[in-house]
Amino acid sequence: MPNSKTTEKQNEVRQPVVAVVGHVDHGKSTLLDYIRKTNVAEKEAGGITQRIGAYEVLHKTADGKERQISFIDTPGHEAFGSSRSCASGVADVAILVVAADEGAKPQTIESIKILQKCKTPFVVAFTKTDKPNADVEHAKASLAEHELYVEGYGGSIPSASVSAKTGNGVSELLDLVLLLADMNDAPRDSGRLAEGVVIEAERSSAKGICATLVIKNGVLRKGNAILADNALSTLRTVEDFAGKPLAEAGCGRIARAYGWSALPHSGAPFRAYVNKKEAEKALEENAARAVVPSSKTEKVPERVGVHTVIPLIIKADNAGSIEAIRHEIEKLKTEKTEIKIVCAGLGNIGEGDVKIADSVAGALVVGFNVGTDAGAKKSSKATGGADIHLFDIIYRLSDFLAELVKERTPKEKREEITGQARIVKLFSEEKNTQVVGGKVLEGMLALGDEFIIVRRSERIGTGRVKELQRFKEKAREAAAGTEFGALTTSTFPLAVSDTIEVVKIVEV
């Protein structure tokens, strides 16, 4: 017979974890702003969320009950696809935000595919309904074009029309979210040690590595040790999403953990242990079970056609940003040029980053949502090297890297035929100089042009137009269809019926 206390714990109402996903600038952060009564959206660079945010709110339902909800806000920019995947995979329920004035867009479709792949139940929120050009029916139809049918439009996906500006429909949306979460009945056992997912990690100059955790099941308590990847943290303190100390955090809560031995990656599962000794034992067991790599060294195939490698040192505010930058870099690789990440890390650009850049020819240092330490500035100025570039918006960084690839891509010299003429008469000849008459067949023949002599489809020599006449008057050029007289020099004597091809060398 099950323990009554355990049964009671398992029957506790779970705090649902809700991911907010959708296309860039469709109102995700503004909707959360209204829900949280804060103003994060205006603080974001360019008004765009560029990192995962985790928050908790208290919502009063239509029947007067108060329920706690955990929200995960995801970036909408295309570069942050891995962040959306991570958030959708950890959530109990998702809100797919679709702007009523625009309908389905590329990241809307990507978000739908991720939600379906993760089998995450979701509700569609049609936002910006206060705008004059808002058309919810059109937005529903745009989703139907991608085989997503909401209730009342031939499908079973619940939806709500909301305005983050006026608050209209927001309470009803949250009631729908809670109903969907209760229907899907996620696990909730506060009698066990916590398990969950790392949704973000960053480095703090004051407290070291900090990871934001979502607790999927169990309880995380002060004094526990947690393991994610091969990174370990002993919890001297547990904080909530706002940085307030917690004695413990249960199912569905957002918690922040400091003091990691290494940086855990976004999306890494974590598990809590009673103490550090137990966690270290688990770490040793994991290492013992790991597959021992073969002693045989595999030869890495050389990249065929890559002529230029651009070395890059990356510093960013969090692990998700680094993954987004890697995503953008991968898109820019061409047959001739690629960007190679020499090293990537969290926090401000330091003197060590500058020294690495100085030691690698052509290297640049790129910072995203970070600053430059005084030591790095001094070192860069002293050496006259270390090209440092700082960005706070992902698409500006992407544009910079694209331009960098364009500038450093090796140029190939190629012949371009700009004119053709037929020799119809020889007037005089002296050593390698001839006076000839001809007709321009294609393009243009101009004074000073260099040409190739073609006889019976074979190139037999080269020459140059020293003087040019039309109707016995000096001319600078002759167009297609016109006759001309010319004084030429050539490596091989011209003959009647020869073709001369004007050739320009261009870089592509």
Predicted confidence at residue 288, as pLDDT, reads 61
Residue 87 has pLDDT above 60, yes or no: no
Q: Mind listing the pLDDT tens digit for each residue in 455-470?
A: 998 999 999 999 999 9
What CATH number is associated with residue 228?
2.40.30.10
**30 and 179 in a common domain:** yes
DSSP notation for 248-292: EE-TT-EEEEE-BSS-PPTT-EEEEESSHHHHHHHHHHHHHHSPP
pTM of the model: 0.58
Same domain, 266 and 343: no
Give the model's confidence band at 386: pLDDT under 50 very low, under 70 low, under 90 confident, else very high: low
Strand order in the sheet with 93-99: 53-60, 66-73, 17-22, 93-99, 122-127, 159-161
The predicted pLDDT at position 38 comes to 44
Among 408, 425, 451, give the residue marking a domain's end.
408
Least confident piece of the model among 160-174, 261-275, 280-294: 280-294
User: Taking Cα atoms as reference points, which of 375, 440, 424, 366 lies closest to residue 396?
Assistant: 366
Give the pLDDT of residue 289: 55
pLDDT at 478: 93
What pLDDT is stored for residue 296 in this prediction? 35
Q: Is 377 a member of any domain?
A: yes
Together in a domain, 106 and 234: no
Predicted local confidence at residue 462, as pLDDT: 92
Q: Which domain holds residue 392?
A: 308-408
d(CA 214, CA 308): 42
pLDDT band at 299 (very low <50, low <70, confident <90, very high): very low
User: 388 and 355: one domain?
Assistant: yes
**CA–CA separation, 489 and 195 (whole Å):** 85
User: Where is average pLDDT lowest: 126-130, 213-217, 313-317, 496-500?
Assistant: 313-317
Pairing relationship of beta strands 433-446 and 225-228 according to DSSP bridges: unpaired
Averaged pLDDT for residues 402-427: 86
Residue-level pLDDT at 464? 94
Query: Is residue 302 included in any domain, yes or no?
Result: no
Does 363 reside within a domain? yes
Q: What is the mean pLDDT of residues 267-273?
A: 87
Q: Are residues 255 and 110 in the same domain?
A: no
Residues 370 and 398 in one domain: yes
**Gap between the Cα atoms of 146 and 174, Å rounded:** 25
DSSP state of 492: S
Q: How confident is the model over 41-70, as pLDDT tens digits? A: 444 444 433 344 678 888 888 888 888 898
Q: Are residues 205 and 319 in the same domain?
A: no
Residue 404 counted as domain residue: yes
pLDDT at 4 over 60: no
Other C-beta atoms within 10 Å of 433: how many?
Answer: 13
- For residue 302, CA distances in Å to 174, 228, 307, 332, 335 come to 54, 35, 11, 19, 12
Render pLDDT for 9-20 as a digit per residue (tens, 0 to 9). 444 567 888 888
DSSP letter at 384? T
Residues 74 and 80: beta-carbon distance below 8 Å: yes
178 shares its domain with 326 = no
Residue 7, pLDDT above cutoff 60: no
> What is the separation of C-alpha 362 from the centre of its chain, rounded to a whole number of angstroms?
23
Q: What is the Cα–Cα distance from 246 to 256, expressed in whole angstroms?
A: 10
One domain, residues 324 and 445: no
330-358 pLDDT, tens digit per residue, is 888 877 888 888 877 777 888 777 777 77
Taking only the tens place, the pLDDT of each residue in 189-218 is 778 899 988 888 777 667 778 888 889 889
The pLDDT assigned to 76 comes to 40
The rounded distance, in Å, linking the Cα atoms of 179 and 50 is: 30
